[in-house]
């Protein structure tokens, strides 16, 4: 990564224009009308990539210094795939209040906030409170980026297997950031029968060990369809399995799924169900890995989502904008839809523009666009 200027500053006149005294004209104009920041600074095209280093990739709590290479990589992806300038910010605190206060104080320097690799359940409160405090997009990619791409792939997998969202039974293993967001976006897309599991089985309100976030999740999912019990019991007859938990699901459990099953085993580097096993029992298989077909990769979502939000100066990223992004991704597959192609490649040049356009349109529909 490096920062480069967009204007040449190699002569006295150019220096005088870019800095003192010329810069004072811009400062005074913005002081009189802060909205001019959008026209005369890089702020509206710049996202803060914020982490505390507590949930970095599959490495866990490795701290802010060790998290920096991942945040730098994220910034490169923002620029490459969305034309968005990303600035890594690794915070030397894991305190919820300190993180929120720090981001709020930094917010005038950015057009949006991308929260990254912050452990659950703290990430839920941090995102919710920052959304309330700020009038710029706040987006936790580990939650919503994963959810958007998962929904896009599932839309096409359901089409391929002749299912409707309303009649499909889904099992999600993992009740952390990604599992919660996937459950919510599937509900928004019309899926009604969802069981989310953790290490102790289905997250349902008959359990006495639930955190507040898991209690809320149970009320949205298993409680509505009467699901409870173990992971193996949830699997029996299920149409779709989505793994965001790690660990391994035994093959004898996978074998109890419905015919023409759909398996998205997304743990990295070791999927919960290895594709060789999954293909013996499912029609459509996806992973989080690049060396197998149907990679569920967040880079398909977050650059285009922020590009679209920035293009209309959106004040937030809504559920409607996320679903629109998923629908746009799914539509790109088009007539090429097949068992080994339910999601486009990250290198498909249509991805970023298509997602951005869909998100911008949804922002206008949802009333959060300001231009």
Q: What residues form the annotated binding site for (S)-malate? A: 268, 297
241 in active site: no
Q: If DSSP codes are grouped into helix, strand and coil, which group holds residue 243?
A: strand
State the Cα–Cα distance between residues 150 and 301, nearest whole angstrom: 10
Binding site for a divalent metal cation, residues? 116-117, 142
Residue 254: partners with Cβ closer than 8 Å, 6 or more residues away: 235, 241, 263, 273, 277, 278, 281, 282
State the Cα–Cα distance between residues 353 and 350, nearest whole angstrom: 6
C-alpha count within 13 angstroms, C-beta hemisphere, residue 314: 30
Q: Which two tokens stand for residue 321?
A: 């904008």
State the Cα–Cα distance between residues 50 and 88, nearest whole angstrom: 6
State the Cα–Cα distance between residues 138 and 315, nearest whole angstrom: 9
Binding site, residues? 116-117, 142, 268, 297
Q: How far apart are the first and last CA of the chain?
A: 31
Q: If DSSP codes are grouped into helix, strand and coil, which group holds residue 46?
A: strand
Q: Which two tokens stand for residue 144?
A: 């919503």
State the Cα–Cα distance between residues 293 and 284, nearest whole angstrom: 10
Contact call for residues 255 and 281 (beta carbons, < 8 A): yes
Of 269, 264, 318, the closest CA to residue 290 belongs to 269
Q: Peptide bond before 111: cis, by omega within 30 degrees of 0?
A: no
Q: Which of 74, 131, 184, 322 is catalytic?
A: 74
Q: Which two tokens stand for residue 280?
A: 């013996």
Backbone angles phi, psi at 170, to 5 degrees: -115, 140
63-80 core/surface letters (b: 16 or more CB in 10 A; e: else): ebeebbebbbebbebbee
CA 330 to chain centre: 16
State the Cα–Cα distance between residues 321 and 93, nearest whole angstrom: 31
19 in active site: yes
State the Cα–Cα distance between residues 140 and 119, nearest whole angstrom: 11
Supply the residues annotated as catalytic.
19, 74
């Amino acid at each position: 990564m490096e920062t480069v200027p967009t204007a040449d500053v190699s002569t006295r006149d150019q220096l005088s224009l870019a800095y003192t005294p010329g810069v004072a004209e811009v400062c005074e104009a913005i002081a009189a009308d802060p909205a001019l920041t959008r026209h005369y600074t890089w702020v509206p095209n710049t996202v803060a990539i914020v982490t505390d280093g507590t949930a970095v990739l599959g490495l866990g709590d490795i701290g802010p210094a060790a998290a920096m290479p991942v945040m730098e990589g994220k910034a490169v992806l923002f620029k490459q795939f969305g034309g968005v300038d990303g600035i890594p910010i690794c915070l030397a605190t894991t305190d919820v209040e300190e993180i929120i206060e720090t981001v709020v104080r930094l917010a005038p320097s950015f057009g949006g906030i991308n929260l990254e690799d912050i452990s659950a359940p703290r990430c839920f409160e941090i995102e919710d409170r920052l959304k309330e405090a700020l009038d710029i997009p706040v987006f936790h990619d580990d939650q919503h980026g994963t959810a958007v791409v998962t929904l896009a792939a599932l839309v096409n997998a359901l089409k391929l297997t002749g299912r409707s969202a309303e009649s499909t039974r889904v099992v999600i293993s993992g009740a952390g950031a990604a599992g919660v967001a996937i459950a919510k976006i599937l509900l928004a897309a019309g899926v009604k029968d969802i069981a989310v599991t953790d290490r102790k089985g289905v997250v349902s309100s008959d359990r006495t060990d639930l955190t507040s976030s898991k209690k809320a999740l149970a009320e949205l999912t298993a409680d509505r369809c009467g699901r409870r019990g173990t992971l193996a019991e949830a699997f029996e007859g299920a149409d779709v399995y989505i793994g965001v938990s790690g660990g391994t699901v035994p093959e004898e459990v996978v074998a109890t799924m419905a015919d023409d099953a759909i398996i998205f085993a997304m743990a990295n580097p070791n999927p919960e169900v290895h594709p060789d096993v999954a293909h013996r029992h499912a029609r459509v298989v996806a992973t989080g890995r690049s060396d197998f077909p149907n990679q569920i990769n967040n880079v398909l979502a977050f650059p285009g989502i922020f590009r679209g939000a920035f293009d209309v100066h959106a004040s937030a990223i809504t559920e409607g904008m996320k679903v629109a992004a998923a629908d746009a991704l799914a539509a790109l597959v088009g007539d090429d839809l097949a068992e080994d192609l339910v999601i486009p490649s990250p290198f498909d040049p249509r991805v970023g523009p298509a997602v951005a356009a869909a998100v911008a349109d949804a922002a206008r529909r949802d009333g959060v666009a300001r231009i």
